[in-house]
Amino acid sequence: KQEVTQIPAALSVPEGENLVLNCSFTDSAIYNLQWFRQDPGKGLTSLLLIQSSQREQTSGRLNASLDKSSGRSTLYIAASQPGDSATYLCAVMNRGSTLGRLYFGRGTQLTVWP
């Protein structure tokens, strides 16, 4: 069974810092990996999706990398802002029988203070 772990569980930083969120997964037979953002009381918004054949994806100040062989992904946020405060979730989509379902980590709760 796929297990996804995110470290750290919580992170508090001053505005302007560059930061890294980590995600690891136990089964490297994946289709893709996604990073989501969740604001309090809201649903999930997809930030970046990395296919298994790719090494990284970038969107604005966000950069996500994938090392499938070691079962790791990182989300890099450059020049953090208070508006980045949210919970960030990592999820993988496995190859195999249950196509389309996602396995989630528990998330990293990020607070960026002015």
Partner 1 sequence: DAEITQSPRHKITETGRQVTLACHQTWNHNNMFWYRQDLGHGLRLIHYSYGVHDTNKGEVSDGYSVSRSNTEDLPLTLESAASSQTSVYFCASSETERDVTDTQYFGPGTRLTVL
For 47, residues 6+ apart whose C-beta sits below 8 A from its C-beta are 34, 35, 36, 37, 59, 62, 64, 75, 88
Q: Which is nearer to partner 1, 38 or 63 (CB)?
A: 38
CB 66, min distance to partner 1, A: 13
Q: Which of residues 37-56 bind partner 1 (CB under 8 A)?
A: 41-46, 49, 51-52
Please compute Rg for the chain using Cα positions.
Answer: 14
Estimate the share of the chain in helix, then strand, then coil, as percent rounded to the nearest 5: 5, 60, 40
For residue 20, give Cα distances in angstroms to 7, 31, 38, 65, 91: 10, 23, 17, 11, 16
Span from 10-18, 59-67, 72-80, 103-111 in contact with partner 1 (CB under 8 A): 103-111
Residue 25 or 80 with smaller CB distance to partner 1: 25
What is the size of the binding site for partner 1 (CB under 8 A)? Answer: 26
Is 13 a residue that touches partner 1 (CB under 8 A)? no
Asked if residue 11 binds partner 1 (CB under 8 A), the reply is no
Site of interaction with partner 1 (CB under 8 A): 4, 31-32, 34, 36, 41-46, 49, 51-52, 89, 91, 93, 98-102, 104-107
